[in-house]
């Protein structure tokens, strides 16, 4: 079987058998199309791709195209999944990654979060607007409030259905990565009021969509639109950062841990499969502790 055919079959398997999100499928498709163009002439068979081909591809990505290490690591991760699947399906006998001694070293970056002053400015900017506010603005501000309250991912936000919301229980069912479901809690009375008013306004919009967040035209509110709204609203609020939805997620995690919430609870609220993913936020809070201590001791007289 040709390598390109095996890639196409693997993508079909991802669509039907393991129900990946459309965003993950789009990333896999792009990664494998790029690899196919470099690794194989049209007739090259899957079992003819070896570790030297992979090394050439890594050098090509790093030296000729000068991609970031994180981009290279993601493309290789997709290829690893493909080769593992081909081995399981007996399309190949040997997996070249088993003997490939190449490590991609990523610089350690701590997640960026808003401090309490910046978060307060943003909360004030998206607080329940008056009754004359247009529906699209109300929708976008309510969506941003929800991310600030719960730390959910922007893709999870756009996939929330009306039936996932229980105002009576003050909860929302979130469908996360790997089709894992979790519950987030709406404990702020102010946000409960905002969400209830948004839902009442949404009921008057004609739409065939079952999603919670829609535009006044009845179309689903998409992640790119949410990102654009967040940039506009945060800039108007005076938040001097290039703000992304994921920074709101980092902000929630950091503030929860600083407030003493057990890391296992934070893991569940964020939908992390591994506790090690959540542990990075302990470095952020320790860094905040160090900075606070330095400010305090800097004001102390040594005399």
Residue 188's CATH number:
1.10.443.10
Instruction: Verify whether residue 268 is a known catalytic residue.
Output: no
87 catalytic per annotation: no
- Contact indicator for 164, 173 with CB cutoff of 8 Å: yes
- Please state the rounded mean pLDDT for residues 36-64: 87
Pair (132, 280) in one structural domain = yes
What is the CATH classification number for the domain harbouring 61? 1.10.150.130
Give the per-residue pLDDT at 39: 83
Catalytic annotation, pick one of 87, 112, 177, 231: 177
Residue 223 banded pLDDT, cuts 50, 70, 90: very high
- Is there a single domain that holds both residue 64 and residue 134? no
The residue annotated as part of the active site, out of 123, 202, 249, 250, is 249
Q: With bands split at pLDDT 50, 70 and 90, how would you rate the model's confidence at 303?
A: very low
User: Where in the sequence is the domain holding 9, given as residue range(s)?
Assistant: 3-99
In 3D, which of 52, 51, 60, 57 has the Cα closest to residue 97?
51
User: Is 51 an active-site residue?
Assistant: no
Q: Which of 48, 67, 99 is the last residue of a domain?
A: 99
Number of domains in the chain: 2
Tell me, what's the pLDDT at 57? 92
Mean pLDDT rounded to a whole number for the chain = 87
Q: Are residues 141 and 257 in the same domain?
A: yes
Same domain (yes/no): 28, 138: no
- 292 has a pLDDT exceeding 70: no
Confirm whether 204 is a catalytic residue: no
At residue 54, the pLDDT reads: 92
pLDDT in tens, 78-114: 999 999 999 999 999 999 998 887 776 655 666 788 8
| pLDDT greater than 90 at residue 163 | yes
Residues 157 and 229 in one domain: yes
Domain boundary among 99, 124, 148: 99
Annotated active-site residue in 28, 57, 198, 281: 281
Q: Is the pLDDT of residue 298 over 70?
A: no
13 is catalytic: no
Q: Which of 75, 141, 153, 225 is catalytic?
A: 153
Confidence check: pLDDT of 10 > 90: yes
The verdict on whether 283 is a catalytic residue reads no
């Amino acid at each position: 079987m040709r390598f390109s055919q095996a890639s196409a079959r693997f993508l079909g398997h991802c669509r039907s058998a393991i129900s990946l999100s459309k965003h993950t499928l789009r990333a896999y498709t792009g990664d494998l199309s790029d690899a196919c163009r470099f690794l194989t002439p049209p007739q090259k068979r899957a079992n003819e791709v070896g570790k030297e081909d992979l090394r050439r591809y890594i050098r090509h990505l790093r030296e000729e195209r000068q991609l970031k290490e994180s981009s290279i690591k993601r493309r290789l991760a997709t290829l690893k999944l493909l080769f593992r699947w081909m081995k399981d399906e007996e399309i190949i006998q040997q997996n070249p990654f088993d003997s490939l001694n190449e490590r991609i070293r990523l610089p350690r970056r701590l997640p960026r979060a808003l401090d309490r002053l910046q978060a307060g400015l943003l909360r004030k900017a998206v607080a329940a607007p008056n009754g004359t506010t247009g529906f699209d603005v109300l929708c976008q501000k309510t969506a941003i409030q929800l991310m600030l309250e719960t730390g959910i991912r922007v893709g999870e936000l756009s996939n929330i259905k009306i039936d996932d919301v229980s105002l009576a229980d003050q909860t929302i069912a979130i469908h996360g990565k790997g089709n894992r479901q979790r519950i987030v809690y709406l404990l702020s009375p102010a946000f409960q009021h905002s969400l209830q008013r948004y839902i009442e306004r949404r009921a008057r919009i004609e739409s065939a969509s079952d999603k919670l967040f829609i535009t006044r035209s009845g179309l689903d509110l998409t992640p790119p639109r949410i990102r654009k709204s967040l940039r506009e609203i945060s800039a108007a609020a005076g938040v001097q950062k290039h703000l992304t939805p994921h920074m709101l997620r980092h902000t929630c995690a950091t503030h929860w841990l600083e407030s003493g919430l057990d890391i296992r609870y934070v893991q569940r609220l964020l939908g992390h499969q591994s506790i090690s993913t959540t542990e990075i936020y302990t470095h952020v809070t320790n860094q905040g502790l160090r900075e606070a201590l330095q400010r305090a001791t800097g004001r102390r007289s040594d005399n």
